[in-house]
Amino acid sequence: MAAAVVVSRLKTGQRPGLGSIGNPPTPPLENEAKNSGSLRFSLLLTARKVLAKYEVKTSIRTCGNARPDMQADYDPAYDEFRPRVPLSVSTDGTRLRYSGLQNCGSPRCPKCAPVRGIQLSERVGLVLNAARAKGLHVQFVTLTARHTIRTRLVDMRAALGDVYRRCWDGKGMARLKREGLLGGVRVWETTDGPKTGWHLHAHVLVISETAENCEEAAQHLKGRWVDLLAKRGWKSSLAVQDSRPVTEGFQQLGAYGAEDMKGWGVAAEMAAGWVKSGRRPDRLSVPELLALAHVGDEWAARRYAEAVEALAGQRMFVLGPKLKRSLGLDVQDLAEDDVCPDLVPDDWREMGRVEGEAWGAIGADKRPAAARLIYRKGLKEGEPWPVVVRRLARLRDDRRDFEPGGMRHPVMALRRLLAGVKL
């Protein structure tokens, strides 16, 4: 979806629906690293500042730093070993990336969320493909609860999580399991609105051996959900719970639960092209909250920090042992603290290593110029990498360079000169 369309819909406050701006889909995730990379890095810096301001303890605050095990070179200006990270350029000379950095793995981090989105979509796709291959039946169920602007997300997560776990207990569910019900796969999704407050809801794939049993299980799940919510003092009604059979459109439907994590590409576009209008749509995803915080919206910054703190440690994908055996799958569950790999495309060439702090000071607006410089001087003309690094230093626009301790401060420059190191 073009950035102009995104901004236009946000300005008009258009109510989001399935696959629309409320949880914006991203272009194919295989190309995610090619899509708004510099803006996603800028969003990460904003996220770290926001989370530090509100004192939220989370691994997102260290995401993007050089890993402790990265190669470190002695820097005489600082009289210490400083880590240097691999810097790569695409073969067409238009994009840069650097690797060897820490990944927090959080689905609320603009750096790691696209990878988590891929992993979640792949797992849901495997489940649906296996179910169809074995002739099983699937119902797509959405479970929600009533909320107001005063509802705290941390309370909602605790209540709804406990209710969902208890939904699969009881005599009625035990009977359905004996008659062919195999289990379910659950994905949580979170949106927020200045008038409606937090909206945490669950998307569940109910899988059974027969269509009748599957339909009955979906209805039973919805009814038990409403009853258990009422016992905890939370209001809801059967009318707002939704269920539908998954047929030939199963791939699109199955990816719906991952859309919140897929939305970071559009969020990056929003952060670049946003024009303040004084109005917000009635529902915003977590990526959209951060995009608004990136352009100075304090309400969105506060709500983004609350989402990160309240949802920390939430498991993204769990497939029970019985369902794994029935589907013939051996897939791992997905949690926030699992190892999160880098999303690396095939058309990149590592050029050399550069100090992470030095590279980070090159502004996002100058990254394209840096990519062209590395491509032209490093790849085509074959200049030595230290010479290319010195050229990159000229693109730096960080005023801290000239302050005490900065790379261009006279004392630091003199130390390097005496040590025979050129910048």
Structure tokens that stand for 195 in this block: 């008038």
- Mean of the pLDDT values across residues 41-49? 88
Tokens 């109910």 found at: 206
Is position 336 within any domain?
Answer: no
The residue from 275, 299, 327 where one domain ends is 327
My answer on whether 307 and 224 are in the same domain is: yes
Given a cut of 50, is residue 6 above it in pLDDT? no
pLDDT by residue (tens digit) across 149-172? Answer: 999 999 999 999 999 999 999 999
Q: What is the CATH number of the domain that holds 170?
A: 3.30.70.1130
**CA distance linking residue 275 with residue 320, whole number of Å:** 46
- pLDDT over 50 (residue 102): yes
Does some domain include residue 16? no
Query: pLDDT at position 251, please?
Result: 52
Q: What is the pLDDT of residue 7?
A: 33
Q: For Cα atoms 7, 8, 14, give the angle at the middle one, nearest 5 degrees.
A: 105
In this prediction, residue 208 has a pLDDT band, given cuts at 50, 70 and 90, of very high
273 vs 66, residue with greater confidence: 66
Asked whether residue 5 carries a pLDDT value surpassing 70, the answer given is no
| Per-residue model confidence (pLDDT) at position 345 | 54
| Choice among 42-56, 175-189, 203-217, 337-351 with the minimum mean pLDDT | 337-351
Domains in the chain: how many in total?
2
* The pLDDT value given to residue 18: 25
| Domain identity same for 166 and 248 | yes
Least confident range of 27-31, 48-52, 274-278:
27-31
Task: Report residue 139's pLDDT band, with 50, 70 and 90 as the boundaries.
Answer: very high
Q: How far apart (Å, rounded) are the C-alpha atoms in residues 118 and 264?
A: 12
150: how many CB neighbours lie within 10 A of its CB? 7
In 3D space, the residue among 354, 266, 290 whose CA is nearest the CA of residue 109 turns out to be 290
Let me know if residue 29 belongs to a domain.
no
- Shortest CA distance to 145 belongs to which of 112, 189, 113? 189
Q: What is the pLDDT of residue 237?
A: 93
Q: Are residues 123 and 97 in the same domain?
A: no
CA distance 49 to 396: 21
Pair (268, 304) in one structural domain: yes
pLDDT band of 94, cuts 50, 70, 90:
low
Q: Tokens standing for 80?
A: 């210490």
Apex CA 218: angle with CA 212 and CA 221, to 5°?
Answer: 135
Mean pLDDT over 211-222 rounds to 96
**Of 94-98, 117-121, 249-253, 418-422, which range is least confident?**
249-253
Q: End-to-end alpha-carbon separation of the chain, Å?
A: 43
- Is residue 272 one of the residues assigned to a domain? yes
On whether both 128 and 265 belong to a single domain, the answer is: yes
Whether 138 maps to a domain, the answer reads yes
Q: Which domain holds residue 230?
A: 113-327
Of 261, 392, 343, 351, the C-alpha closest to 31 is: 343
Q: Given this model, what pLDDT does residue 222 score?
A: 97
Which residues are CB-neighbours of 278 under 8 A, at least 6 positions away? Answer: none
Q: Which amino acid is at 359?
A: W
What's the pLDDT score for residue 217?
97
- Residue 356's pLDDT is 56
Query: Contact 83/356 with Cβ under 8 angstroms?
Result: yes
Say whether both 213 and 262 belong to one domain.
yes
User: Which residue has tokens 């939904």?
Assistant: 167
pLDDT value for 350: 67
Please report which confidence band the pLDDT of residue 25 belongs to, taking 50, 70 and 90 as the band edges.
very low
User: 121-130, 146-155, 347-356 — which one is most confidently predicted on average?
Assistant: 146-155
Q: Are residues 298 and 409 in the same domain?
A: no
Beta bridge partners of 73: 82
Q: Which pLDDT belongs to residue 157?
A: 96
DSSP alpha helix (H) spans, 16-79: 37-53
Same domain? 164 vs 204: yes
205/300 same-domain check = yes
> In this structure, are residues 408 and 402 in contact, taking their beta carbons and an 8 Å threshold?
yes
Both tokens of residue 404? Answer: 């005490």
What are the Cα distances from residue 215, in Å, to 211, 243, 393?
6, 8, 63
Predicted confidence band of residue 24 (pLDDT cuts 50, 70, 90): very low
Q: Is 26 helix (H, G, I), strand (E, B) or coil?
A: coil
User: Both 146 and 207 in a single domain?
Assistant: yes
Write the pLDDT tens digit of every residue in 217-271.
999 999 999 999 999 999 999 999 999 888 755 554 544 455 555 556 555 544 5
* pLDDT score recorded for residue 200: 93
Which tens digits make up the pLDDT trace of 352-407? 666 655 555 566 567 677 777 877 887 788 888 777 777 777 776 544 455 555 55
Between 359 and 59, whose confidence is greater?
A: 59
**pLDDT exceeds cutoff 60 at 190:** yes
Per-residue pLDDT of 274-284, as tens digits, reads: 433 334 567 88
Which residue intervals of 54-196 are DSSP H helices? Answer: 113-133, 153-167, 171-178
Residue 6 falls inside a structural domain: no
Residue 72 shares a structural domain with residue 199 = no
